[in-house]
Amino acid sequence: MQACGLFQLFQEGAVVSMVNPFNPYYPAEAAFFANRRREQEWFRRGLLPSLRPESAGPWNAAILGPWGIGKSSLVRRLRELARETEVPPGVVVVGCTTGYGSLLGFTRSLIGSMKEEMLSLAGWSEAVRTELERWSVQIQLPGVALRRGQRQAPEEAANVAELLRSTLRRYWEQILEPAGKTLLFVLDDADLLQVMDPNALMILRAVFQDLHMYRARYGLVITGPSNLFGEVREVAEPVTRFFEHLPLREFDLDDTTDAVRHPLQQVHAPIRVSDEAVGWVWEQSHGHPYFVAFIMRDVVDEAMKQKWDRIDIEHLQKCWPYVSAHLETEKFLAEWTYATPAERQILQALATGKHIGEGKSALMSRLVRKNLIYRIERGQYAIYHPLFAEFVRNQAE
Ligand SMILES: Nc1ncnc2c1ncn2[C@@H]1O[C@H](COP(=O)(O)OP(=O)(O)OP(=O)(O)O)[C@@H](O)[C@H]1O
Ligand SMILES: [Mg+2]
């Protein structure tokens, strides 16, 4: 089977071109985005108005949830919503990665992205534009990049805070405020900043709070796993209070209906999906957005090849052997291969409901970090998805 592409369907003699709108490899495009109404409403009514100069100060948000639940997709949608406002703020979206080598390296990149976003905003006079471009070469960055794995010295953490604070303040006072413009920073996968420097979120909070003192209207949205704050609670409880928490959960049946039908409507697909078929997709995927997208991508691919104008349970059952083999090769096999023999034993035990003995906490933590299991409550764990549990049960050792 081919991945997403342009296909031609024949309907009543006419040739209809159609693109497969499902793609599990990237965050959902704004046009194919489904659900998350509560979060979108909060952005529209709370976060975006809070960026306006007359507000009491920007609201900050932490979009939290496990891998593939839709954090980056929601960030993309937020960007669209910002563009739809009367006076659109600039939205600086940065994917966090340890590839920056240090928090300083990250900060440098963040400032670069900020300048790009500002330059892309409409309405600058030629003088301001020239000034902005000139600043882009003027900024002096303290310190040198760290080698991989090297710990950031405390004075460099201070440099990070100083660099960010002074640059953002300068941009605010000299360029953004006089022009009546505001910016929203979105740091996707902010947990990776914590890997480079365990104080990263503390530093960000301190900088953004200081900027608030100067009435700067910079909003801050971060995304990360559900335990992003859990791990820092003892040392950095104030950080958790600095953000409105937006936990993302799996889709319910109505959400899944929307996630299945909305993208097809958007591409004017001449394919109807029955209620029973949607229910079946929901049961298999457990409403996990990644799996909904994966299953639908393959099923729609097949529908286009076979020229089905309807997808019903029989069609799904026909496709399932292929979809499930595809899931194995695309995802499960790699996860299984990278697990150590001891980790596999734990996975087998969890998948078959066997008792896991004492003294396994280090192993369990490693499996949680690998996103293969999640903690239900103290000492109780489950495999991240029933489809992976089924795969694990089928791996006779
Ligand atoms: N609201 C949505 N509407 C439609 N599809 C979605 C939505 N949310 C997620 N998806 C689908 O699920 C897949 C995973 O979503 P996304 O990449 O946004 O998750 P994530 O939480 O950022 O994952 P990670 O933790 O791996 O970065 C996407 O490829 C997309 O197809
Ligand atoms: Mg993501």
Domains defined along the chain, listed by start: 36-247 (3.40.50.300), 339-397 (1.10.10)
Q: How far is the CA of 256 from the centre of ligand 1 (A)?
A: 13
How close is the Cα of 67 to the center of ligand 2, in Å? 7
- Is residue 231's pLDDT more than 70? no
Average pLDDT along the chain? 86
DSSP helix/strand/coil, 362 = helix
Is residue 31 in contact with ligand 1, taking CB distance under 6 Å?
Answer: no
Q: What is the pLDDT of residues 35-55, one digit of tens each?
A: 999 999 999 999 999 998 888
Which neighbouring-strand residues pair with 224? Answer: 64
CB 223 within 8 A of CB 123: no
Cross-strand pairs, 187: 94, 222
Tell whether pTM > 0.85.
yes
What is the mean pLDDT of the segment spanning 244-273?
95
**Residue owning the nearest CA to atom 13 of ligand 1:** 290
The CA distance from 247 to 64, in Å, is 5
Ligand 2 centroid – CA 224 distance (Å): 8
DSSP string computed for 80-135: HHHHTSSSPPEEEEEE--GGG-SHHHHHHHHHHHHHHHHHHSS---HHHHHHHHHH
pLDDT exceeds cutoff 70 at 354: yes
Q: For ligand 1, is residue 89 a contact (CB within 6 Å)? A: no
The mean pLDDT value for 69-77 works out to 95
- Kindly report the number of other CB atoms within 10 A of residue 340's CB atom: 11
CB of 225 within 6 A of ligand 1: the answer is no
- Which residues have a Cβ under 8 Å from the Cβ of 396 and sit 6 or more positions away? none
Least confident of 121-125, 145-149, 297-301: 145-149
SS3 label, residue 185: strand
Q: Which atom of ligand 1 is nearest to the CA of 22?
A: 31
Per-residue pLDDT band at 68 (split at 50, 70, 90) = very high
Half-sphere exposure of 108 (CA within 13 A, CB side): 19
**Measured in angstroms, how far is the CA atom of residue 225 from the centroid of ligand 2?**
10
Describe the chain by its helix, strand, coil percentages, rounded to 5: 55, 15, 30
Structure confidence at residue 383 (pLDDT): 95
DSSP string, 32-73: G----HHHHHHIIIIITGGGSTTSS----EEEE-STTSSHHH
Query: Which residue among 73, 76, 261, 262 is best mutated to probe the pocket of ligand 1, counting the most ligand atoms within 8 A of its Cβ?
Result: 73
Q: Is 35 in the pocket of ligand 1 (CB under 6 A)?
A: yes
- Ligand 1 centroid from CA 320, angstroms: 22
Report the run of H or E that residue 202 belongs to, with start and end: helix 200-213
Closest atom of ligand 1 to CA, residue 69: 21
Distance of CA 116 to the CA centre of its chain: 22
- 94, 189 contact by CB (below 8 A): no
Task: Read off the pLDDT band of 149 (50, 70, 90).
Answer: very low
pLDDT of residue 235: 54
